[in-house]
Amino acid sequence: MRTFAEVDENNIVINIATFEDNQTPVDLGWSGWYETADNIRKNPAGIGSTFVPEADGYPMGLFYPPSPHNSWGLDANYEWGPPADKPYPDGYGEPPSTWYWDDNAEDWAEATPAESE
């Protein structure tokens, strides 16, 4: 089985579907479908992903996902990151850092432990 992503006229993924190895969209005469998997085109495609037909290092193009957080930006490598004036806090994502991105405030905040049971 192989997985293909259907892309609309704006290069937005509108579906992902499964096909037999010998019955791909090309074989079926379906247009606008591009193969997706873990190890090709940078990221696996999902509905809402964007397809970039030509990108450095990716001759078959790449997919990048929607932004994971409000107000984050896309860099030249098609990676999402916080705004330039709000860089990652030291140690972000590793204990004991308690920083997280607050999507409502669109800024970093520090979490406090929840009440124990």
Tell me the CA distances in angstroms from 98 to 62, 83, 85, 93, one per residue in order.
Answer: 33, 19, 20, 8
Told to check if 10 binds another protein by CB under 8 A, we report no
CB of 76 to another protein, least distance (A): 21
96 preceded by cis ω (within 30°)?
Answer: yes
Told to check if 112 binds another protein by CB under 8 A, we report yes
Q: Which residue has the tokens 């409000």?
A: 70
Radius of gyration of the chain (CA): 19
Told to check if 64 binds another protein by CB under 8 A, we report no
1, 10, 54, 57: residue in contact with another protein (rule CB under 8 A)? 1
Q: Which residue has the tokens 């004036």?
A: 85
Could you list the residues that contact another protein (CB under 8 A)? 1, 3-4, 6, 14-20, 23, 25, 28, 30, 38, 43-48, 65, 68, 92-95, 97-101, 111-114, 116-117
